[in-house]
Amino acid sequence: IYSFMLCVEVMKQQDEISDAEWQFFLRGASSLEKVGVRKFTLRNFSTEFVIVSLGKQFVENPPVDLANLYNDMSPSTPLIFILSTGSDPMGAFQRFAKERGFESISLGQGQGPIAEKMILEALKSGQWVFLQNCHLAVSWMLAMEDWILIHDTSIHKDFRLFLSSMPTKVFPVTVLQNSVKVTNEPPKGLRANMRRAFTEISTSFFEDHVLGRQWRKMTFGICFFHAIIQERKKFGPLGWNIRYEFNDSDRECALLNLNLYCKDGIIPWDALIYITGEITYGGRVTDAWDQRCLRTILKSFFSPQTLEPDYSFSTSGIYYAPETDQLEDYKKYIESLPIIDDPEVFGMHENANLAFQRQETMTLISTILDVNPRSSAQHGAKSNDEIVCELAESILLKLPGKRAQTETNNVRIFVSILYENDRLNSLTTVLGQETDRFNNLLRLLRKAIAGLVVMSEEMDRIYTSFLNNQVPTHWSNSAYPSLKPLASWVKDLTLRTSFIQTWITLGQPKSFWISGFFFPQGFLTGVLQNHARNYNLPIDELNFRFKLPEPEDGVLVHGMFMDSCRWDDDNMVIEDALPRVMNAMLPIVHFEPQRNYVPEPSLYHAPLYKTSVRAGTLSTTGHSTNFVVTVMIPSSRPSDYWISKASALLCQLDD
C-alpha cells in the first residue's frame, strides 16, 4: 500500500491525476494510520477511488425491477438477461409472469426449429416467449431477428420476447442493439445472500407447515448452506477447486424437495441429505475433493443436529437459526448479521482472508499491467528493448549448457543396471523419462530466446511477458504446471535440472524432492512397481502408507508444503496454521507401499497438488491432472474440521 501511495505521489507531481483524486489518496493515507495496514485492503482502496472519481452508483448493484424493465420493451424490442455465475433470472421471471401465459425453451442442438414454431405462434396470439441459454445457439439468433422484422407489421401488441445468454463474443450485435439489456449479479456476502433468499420466500410457505419450528429451521439451514457455498468461491482454491455455477434455482429446487418429502410431518433425513448433497447441488460438482467438501459443509447446516435448541453454525455463536416462528423475525435477524463475513463461519482459518485479499490484489495488478501502454525510455533510462535483451541473456546463462544436456543422456547407461531377478529398476525408467522431458524444455527455451522457432506474434507475446515478469504462454504450455513469476520460474527450473543431474551423476538420492519432478505421478507409480516386483505382488493391490521413520521399503520424499494447516513437531499431528503463515513446510515423509492397506480412521486424507490453483483437466481417473496423490496425515481432530478448511499439500508455492 505504501509503495502504491508513493507511485500516486509521483503521478501527482507529473499532473497525471486530478485534485479530487489526490484528496482521496490523502484520506486513504489517513485511514491507513487509523485502522492499520492489516485491515485496510487494496479492495477498499480501489472502491473509494471509484466512488470519488465516478460516483457511488458505480460500486452498488441497483435492484432489478422487471415491472420497470417491461415498460421499456415493445413487441419488436426483446429483453436480454445477461447471465452471470451464481444468478438465474428464471425464478424472478416466473413470479413476474405468473398471471400471463408464457412459453419457455432452453436452446441447444436441435432446439432451433422448436423455438421458431413457438415464436411464430406467439407473434399471432400475443403470448410471451422466454428463450434461455441463447449463447448455445448464436448462429440462430440472426434468423430469429429476421422473422421478427418480417412480421413487424403483424405482430400482436401483447407479444413480448425474453432472452437469456452468458457473455459471448459471437452474439449478434444487431440483436443487442435492438434490445433492452439487464444483468442480475449474485449478491455478495452472507447477509445479502440470505436477504435475497428470504425476500423470495412467502409467508405461507415459511409459517404454515405441519412441522412447525423444525420446518423453519430446516428452511433457514438450506438457505444458509446455499449462501455459504456461494461465498466460498471468493476464497479461490481454498473454497472450491473449481468455481461452480450454483444459482438461485438450486436453492428453490432444494426447498421444493424439502416441502415434498416433509408434507406428511416426517423428516426422512437420509433421503433429504442424499438428494440435496448428491443431486441438487452435487450434480454440478465434478471434482472428487469438492464433492467431499460439499458433503461436509451440508452436515453442518442441514442435519438432525441443526434442529437442537442451542445449535449454532459457527463457533462464535453469531450465526444460528432463531428460536422464533415469524418470517419477519427471521428477516430482522438477517439484517443484524455482520456485513463482513469472518472466515470462521466457513470453517476456515483467519489466513483465508489474507489469501482472498492477495488474490484480488494480484488480479488488479495483472489487469493494470495488461492495459498499461508501452513507453519509451526517458532521462537516460533503459528502453524496453534493452531490458528484454538483458533479461533473455541472463536467463540463457542460468540454463544448463549444451554440455550438461549431453551428459544427461548418460542416463541410458543406468538403464542397463538390472535387479538380481533380471528386472529393470522402475525408478531408473522414471529418471530417463524425466531427463527427456527436461531436455525437450531446455531446447525449446534456448531456441525461443534466440528467436529461432517462434512467429512474430508469439515473439511479441514473449516480449510483453518479459516486461511483466511473467512466464510466456509458449513456454508454460511445454513445461510443468507452475504459477511462479518469470524470475522465480527460471530459478526453480535450474533447481529441478540440478536435481535430475545429481541423480544421474551420484545415483539415487536418499530422499526424493517430489516438487522437482516433471510428472510426480509417474515417480510414485515407479515406487509401487519396484515394490510389486520385489515381493511378487499385484500392483493394483498396493497403496501407500505414510510415516516418518527410516524406510526399509518405499522411498523418503521431501519438498511438500502445507496449505491451511501446519505440522506440529511436538505432538506429531496436523494443526491449525499460525497467523499470517500461509504455507508451512511438511517434514520428510516415508512413502511405504502396503498391500490392501486400510488407513486408520484418525488419519486425515490430504490431497497433494502440483500448484496452489488445484484445478486442472479432468483425467480418466476422475481426478484433476493437478492432483498427485492422497497423503494420510495424523490428526487429533475430526477430518471434517480440515475438510472445511480445505487443508491440502502443495508441491510448490506461487513464488
For residue 373, pLDDT over 70 is answered with: no
pLDDT in tens, 8-34: 554 544 455 555 555 555 555 444 444
pLDDT in tens, 140-168: 777 776 766 665 667 788 888 888 888 88
pLDDT in tens, 566-583: 999 899 999 999 988 889
pLDDT at 24: 55
pLDDT at 182: 85
Residue ranges per domain, the chain?
66-184, 190-350, 381-509, 512-654
* Rounded average pLDDT over 645-652: 92
Say whether 116 sits in a helix, a strand or coil. helix
Residue pair 40/356 in contact (Cβ under 8 Å)? The answer is no
pLDDT in tens, 627-644: 999 999 999 999 999 999
For residue 46, pLDDT over 60 is answered with: yes
pLDDT at 54: 80
pLDDT in tens, 66-86: 777 888 888 888 888 888 766
Question: In degrees, to the nearest 5, what angle opens at C-alpha 388 toward C-alphas 384 and 394?
Answer: 145
For residue 63, pLDDT over 70 is answered with: no
- The number of C-alpha atoms within 13 Å of 17 and in the hemisphere containing its C-beta is 19
For residue 103, pLDDT over 70 is answered with: yes
The terminus-to-terminus CA distance of the chain in angstroms comes to 20
- DSSP assignments along 425-471, one per residue: -HHHHHHHHHHHHHHHHHHHHHHHHHTSS--HHHHHHHHHHHHTT--
The CATH classification number of 512-654 equals 3.10.490.20
Task: Report the candidate in 100, 337, 99 with the shortest Cα–Cα distance to residue 231.
Answer: 337
* Longest CA span, the chain: 90
For residue 404, pLDDT over 60 is answered with: no
Phi, psi for 568 (deg, rounded to 5): -95, 105
Please tell us whether the domain made up of 190-350 is placed in CATH 1.10.8.720. Answer: yes
**Whole-number Å distance between alpha carbons of 324 and 309:** 11
Task: Report the candidate in 223, 229, 258 with the shortest Cα–Cα distance to residue 242.
Answer: 229
pLDDT at 379: 56
**Whole-number Å distance between alpha carbons of 183 and 47:** 21
pLDDT at 300: 92
pLDDT at 10: 46
pLDDT in tens, 201-210: 888 899 888 9
pLDDT at 55: 78
* 112 alpha-carbon distance from chain centroid: 34
For residue 356, pLDDT over 70 is answered with: yes
Mean pLDDT, the chain, rounded, equals 80
**Whole-number Å distance between alpha carbons of 360 and 366:** 10
pLDDT at 292: 93
Say whether 32 sits in a helix, a strand or coil. helix
- Homologous superfamily, domain 66-184: P-loop containing nucleotide triphosphate hydrolases (3.40.50.300)
* 493 alpha-carbon distance from chain centroid: 26
Task: Flag the least confident range among 274-283, 337-346, 453-462, 611-620.
Answer: 453-462
pTM for this entry: 0.73
The most confident of the ranges 362-371, 410-419, 521-530 is 521-530
pLDDT in tens, 227-242: 999 999 888 888 999 8
pLDDT at 1: 45
* Rounded average pLDDT over 602-612: 92
